[in-house]
Amino acid sequence: MMTYKIGWFSSGEVKSEEGRKAARELLETVLKAKNEGILDIEISFVFSNIEPGERPYGDEFFRLVNSYGLPLVTFSSDKFAPKMREKGKEELVALHGKLRYDVHTPILDKWRELYDEACLAPGYLGDYERPDLCVSIGDMTIWGKPKCEFYDCIALHPALPWGPKGTWQSVIWEIIEKRENEHGVMMLQVTEELDRGPPITYCKFPIVGGEYNTLWQGLDEKLKIRSLEQVKKEEYETEPLFVRMRKDGVEKEHQIIVYTIKLFADRVLEFRNKALYEVKTNKLVVGGYDITDVMEKGN
């Protein structure tokens, strides 16, 4: 069986240090699994929409990529048709009152299409054979139709398939507000719709019982004198229940990305015309592949 080839998409430059750290560490987690023989893969290229020297944290990520000897491809999204991109942002604000990248506008859709076509051209991604699978971790671009049609790509999302959309911070606070009993993470298919692609794999973990009960009680004590919005505003990422949920979520993220890539590399799952299939049974996977038990058993 031939070594499974992976394309890796990551900007390396995201808003928070937490996000930048995650982008670096998740790549390292996958490479560690490869070196330990857990994953029989080859990373064909790492692509970033930021060029060397453009932003400091991007350069930090590039040094990591280079230290592993991975092929690096960069194509600046900021420098590509900037006037058209800015006009698209203005159109977004005019339509929605603010920059909302989870919605579409004609100008930005066209800009993304043109940018993707340029990325796929010779001199950039066009110099590389299409990998078996692509992984998007910390890629701060929304893919247009050309890349979505050309590649099969998966990405992390810090919630269960039926859970909230948005950033990991907003996801955790929404789960706290709804007082859910479980949380989780998933890998989803990258599509033109931000965080709306079909779920590929997911895992759950309880957020009640044991220490969690104590943390919920601590939050309830605060809510006797303050509203949840006040607690959120004053403590945000430092509230103890929030911190524990994020800690457990990050741990699961590192596990699920390895397990999911392994399912593809071992030919357990595969994409056929953008649909997910279980190879052995030849069945279409709908609603995602629950790997909670597999991850807990560690095999």
The 10 Å Cβ neighbour count of residue 177 is 12
The CA distance from 66 to 34, in Å, is 17
Ranges of H-type helices in 97-210: 106-119, 145-150, 168-178
CB 148 within 8 A of CB 112: no
At residue 93 the predicted structure's pLDDT band, cuts being 50, 70 and 90, is confident
The CA distance from 197 to 188, in Å, is 6
Per residue in 211-236, pLDDT tens?
Answer: 999 999 999 999 999 999 999 999 99
Q: Scanning the structure block, which residue is given the tokens 């893919």? A: 143
The CA distance from 178 to 260, in Å, is 29
Q: How much is the pLDDT for 194?
A: 83
Strand partners for 183:
205
Q: How much is the pLDDT for 14?
A: 66
The CA distance from 288 to 276, in Å, is 9
CB 187 within 8 A of CB 257: yes
Per residue in 32-49, pLDDT tens?
Answer: 999 999 999 999 999 999
Residue type, 231: V
The DSSP symbol for 222 reads H
Per residue in 171-208, pLDDT tens?
Answer: 999 999 999 999 999 999 999 988 889 999 999 999 99
157 φ, ψ (degrees, to nearest 5):
-140, 135
Q: Where are the beta strands (DSSP E) in the chain?
A: 4-9, 41-48, 72-74, 133-136, 153-157, 182-189, 199-206, 269-272, 275-278, 283-284, 289-290
The closest alpha carbon to 299, from 250, 259, 251, belongs to 259
At residue 57 the predicted structure's pLDDT band, cuts being 50, 70 and 90, is confident
What's the pTM?
A: 0.94
The CA distance from 292 to 184, in Å, is 9
The DSSP symbol for 130 reads P
Mean residue pLDDT of the chain comes to: 93
296 φ, ψ (degrees, to nearest 5):
-65, -35
The 10 Å Cβ neighbour count of residue 128 is 15
CB 156 within 8 A of CB 22: no
Plot region of 97 (φ>0 → left; ψ -120 to 50 → alpha; else → beta): left
